[in-house]
């Protein structure tokens, strides 16, 4: 769960960089970006689970037929780092993209002499961003009511 949600978060951050800050994307090192993305999506959830394994706060519950955590503080840390933080970042990114696109369309509506290639690439990026926003919304509505 933590890997998947952090992966959605990094996709949203990438969409924000591509749509709102395209000059930053051209300056970034793709290799470093990929390494940082993999480390965040894979290592962060593992680091959140290590204290539970070291303190024996996880036990199998035969009534629930699953493992349960008994340390309330660790539960709050995991919920905050693995669920709430990525959701807040994702929502912030998509709201930022929405306001940038709203402002760009308002400005281009007043100016009719925009370049076709810039307009075409921006529309393409907006379509891709809409697709990821819909995917996140479906994931959010489908998983979160049952994930806790």
d(CA 111, CA 4): 41
Report the number of secondary-structure helices (H) and strands (E) in the chain. Answer: 6, 2
**Phi (first) and psi of residue 56, to 5 degrees:** 55, 40
2-147 has which fold? Rhopdopsin 7-helix transmembrane proteins (1.20.1070)
pLDDT tens sequence for the chain (148 residues): 567 888 888 888 988 888 888 888 788 888 888 888 888 888 888 888 888 888 878 888 888 788 888 888 888 888 898 888 998 999 999 889 888 887 877 776 666 554 555 567 777 777 887 888 888 888 878 877 666 5
- Per-residue pLDDT, 146: 66
Location of structure tokens 């393409």: 124
- Per-residue pLDDT, 147: 60
């Amino acid at each position: 769960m933590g890997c998947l949600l952090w992966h959605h978060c990094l996709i949203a951050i990438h969409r924000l960089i591509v749509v709102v800050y395209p000059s930053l994307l051209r300056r970034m090192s793709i290799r470093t970006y990929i390494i940082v993305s993999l480390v965040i999506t894979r290592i962060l959830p593992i680091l959140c689970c290590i204290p539970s394994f070291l303190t024996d706060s996880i036990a199998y519950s035969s009534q629930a037929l699953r493992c349960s955590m008994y340390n309330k503080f660790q539960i709050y840390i995991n919920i905050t780092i693995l669920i709430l933080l990525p959701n807040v970042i994702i929502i912030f990114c998509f709201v930022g993209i929405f306001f940038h696109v709203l402002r760009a369309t308002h400005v281009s509506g007043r100016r009719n002499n925009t370049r076709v290639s810039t307009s075409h690439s921006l529309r393409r990026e907006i379509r891709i961003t809409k697709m990821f926003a819909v995917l996140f919304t479906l994931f959010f509505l489908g998983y979160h009511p049952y994930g806790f």
